[in-house]
Amino acid sequence: MFDILILSNGPGEITTWVRPVVKSLREKLGNDRDKVRISVVLSPCANASGKEADIALSYPEVDRVQSAKNFFPFLITGKTADSWDWRDKGVVLFLGGDQFFTVVIGKKLGYATVVYAEWEARWHSLINRFGVMKPQVIAKINPHYVDKFTVVGDLMAEAGGGERDGEMGRWGDNEDLISESKIHLIGILPGSKAAKLSQGVPLSLAIAQYIHDKLPQTKFVIPVAPTLDLQTLASFASAEKNPMFKYFGGISAKLIDSEQPYLETATGLQVEIFLKHPAYDMLSKCSICLTTVGANTAELGSLAVPMIVLLPTQELDAMRSWDGIPGLLANLPLVGSSFAKLINWYFLRRKGLLAWPNIWAKKQIVPELVGKLKPQDVGDIVIDYLQNPAKLADIRQNLRSVRGETGAATKLTQLVWEELEKQV
């Protein structure tokens, strides 16, 4: 009888790390909960929406979840809000947050510890095993601890492994539909939090309208993040409710909440809303996607879907979705607005690469557009790509070349299994 406790935090980690790992754990260890129980404990994250616990609990492989609001009492006392019982043997698996939490909780429960590390591994003497994304992480390690490290690959690359179930909205499940008939499907990923949606939604709608006016056969779809409900999305698509529309030409849209919901502009342009998550099958059909920064760029990169990364700065005060201390300062009452403007001004002066594929490649292989973006300028760039398939093919090839090694979830599961075997 074992317990596996997964520590995680933000929406990106829950959907792109936890999901493939718990599936792999059940495939390896079985579904008998009397033998192996999987728990998820969330720690606070500046990018969290508050729905991360519900998402984690929706995974059939997971038995119980504690939300971030109850994390620090658990860290200090070792007791959960619902007084969970813990088995004598188990593993604490780190999949997001602060790696030191793994040390503390592992000691309190008397469990072995396994950490997944993308870029940097810490607390080498106190953690039992590390699964790292690339060999470069190990190169920084004291040789005394190298035996604890295993290159498992990139968990983000698991994105392409989603099941196909035929739920493809209005376009069916025929991969030739887009390429053969020249009906280009464009994905729109404006984010899931207010700080990004307030500018991202009106900008994207204006871009979609501009492209559709030039290429009427073009279709558009928004894959809705699991942390975003339709009414919230609709409020950001309304010029009456979202003052940011004044910067982007006022192309407003209303929600048509039918069996297959969509946003509709005054001209009749329809932007379908795709509710199934993860949306990998649908995204794979897209000729190109318009996306904000975040974990979605990693998912698109893993699927080798061309993208343009948009970060509009028409109002610096609206950009408050930062991690860590900057995010906390930018969201303080009364003074947060001033901090947000200062932080964003500094960021725009010092920014590096933003999209994960570009960070992996250490160069810009997908366009990053930052500043006071104009819908027609972005639209012209998209149209140029659509009319020049070779350019899109180059992006796809570059994305494939920088993806991390696949199979990370399976290899990470093996490390957990090896630590459990030591306790038999």
| Region label for 166, one of left (φ > 0), alpha (ψ between -120 and 50) or beta (otherwise) | left
Report percent pLDDT > 90 for the chain.
Answer: 56
130-162 confidence digits (pLDDT tens)? 999 888 888 888 889 999 999 998 887 775 544
Question: Is 90 exceeded by the pLDDT of residue 109?
Answer: yes
333-350 confidence digits (pLDDT tens)? 654 455 555 555 555 555
Question: Is 70 exceeded by the pLDDT of residue 169?
Answer: no
372-401 average pLDDT score: 94
Tokens of 130: 């590390």
